[in-house]
Amino acid sequence: MNSRVLEFDSLVTSRRAVRAFLPTPVPKTLISEILDIARLAPSNSNIQPWNVHVLTGEPKQALSALLMAAHNDPHSEQLTHFPSDLGQRYRQRQELFGALFYGLHQVDKCDTGARARVSGLNFEFFGAPVGLIFTIDSNLKKYSWVDYGIFLQTLMLSAQARGLATCPQVSFARFQNLIGDFLHLDDGQEIVCGMSLGYADDNALLNSLRMPRAPTEELARFIGFDQ
């Protein structure tokens, strides 16, 4: 295999969702460099439907404090991530994720208090020095959300290539109004997700999680090939 292929494959296979970061700051120039590559992601009719809000220092801490208070409020809004009829194929994968994730935290999946403590770590951006919030015009259709996914992966690989780690986080979509007010978002902007960005703490047990993937035969059909 040529070195380009090896480098690309190694970039993709070494990326993972990191949930424990070092406090080492990330210079603004480096974040701009990462975004300069991410913005090259393709989009339908080239509309580039992404808006990125990059927080660090006191504003990031202030947002985290508000989110933690809301998270700990039993009356606050909840986010339904999936339909109730998820189906066995996805349900099994989700359950495996839960077993590995909460197993690592030594949390019983029936212990709702402990689970809430663990999920609350999301709102502290897992200790990362940089928090990103991604928004989209809410009148756009699902095709533009496809664009967004491509943008996010390009951003994560751009960060990974520069020795930085990320965790994409849908958890932030739970607090649309709170985050919208905090960031003074224009009307009609919807939060897609957040992301933690920084240097991984390679000694943290939390970062030892390796999520399995289904084999290619499970997701692809080859039609019209000889064999």
Query: Where do contacts with ligand FMN occur on this chain (CB under 6 A)?
Result: 16-17, 19, 97, 122, 167-171, 193, 211
Rank residues 15 and 39 by Cβ distance to ligand FMN and give the closer one.
15
Structure-block tokens of residue 25: 């700051």
Q: What is the C-alpha separation between 175 and 76, in angstroms, rounded?
A: 9
Give the DSSP per-residue string, 14-56: H--B---B------HHHHHHHHHHHTTS--GGG----EEEEEE
Residue 195 is given by DSSP the state E
Our CB check for ligand FMN shows the closer of 16 and 39 to be 16
For the bound state, the minimum distance from the C-beta of residue 78 to ligand FMN, rounded and expressed in Å, comes to 13
Q: Which is nearer to ligand FMN, 97 or 143 (CB)?
A: 97
- Residue 178 contacts residue 67 (beta carbons within 8 Å): yes
Q: Minimal distance in Å, beta carbon 68 to ligand FMN? A: 15
65/182 Cα distance (integer angstroms): 12
Q: CB of 100: closest distance to ligand FMN in angstroms?
A: 9
**Residue tagged 């015009």 (tokens):** 137
Distance of CA 227 to the CA centre of its chain: 38
Nearer of residues 178 and 193 to ligand FMN, judged by Cβ: 193
Contact 194, 130 (CB under 8 A): no
Tell me the backbone φ, ψ of residue 159, rounded to 5 degrees: -65, -45
The least CB distance from residue 16 to ligand FMN, in Å, is 3
Q: Based on CB atoms, which residue is closest to ligand FMN, 28 or 170?
A: 170
List the structure tokens of 151. Answer: 């943008």
Biggest alpha carbon–alpha carbon distance for the chain: 60
Looking at beta carbons only, is 35 or 193 nearer to ligand FMN? 193
Q: Find the shortest distance in angstroms from Cβ 113 to ligand FMN.
A: 18
Least distance in angstroms from the C-beta of 34 to ligand FMN = 17
- Give me the least distance between CB of 125 and ligand FMN, in Å please: 11
Output 32 or 77, the one with its CB closest to ligand FMN: 77
What H or E segment, with its residue span, contains residue 68? Answer: helix 57-71
Q: What is the residue type of 29?
A: T
Count of helices and strands (H, E) across the chain: 8, 4
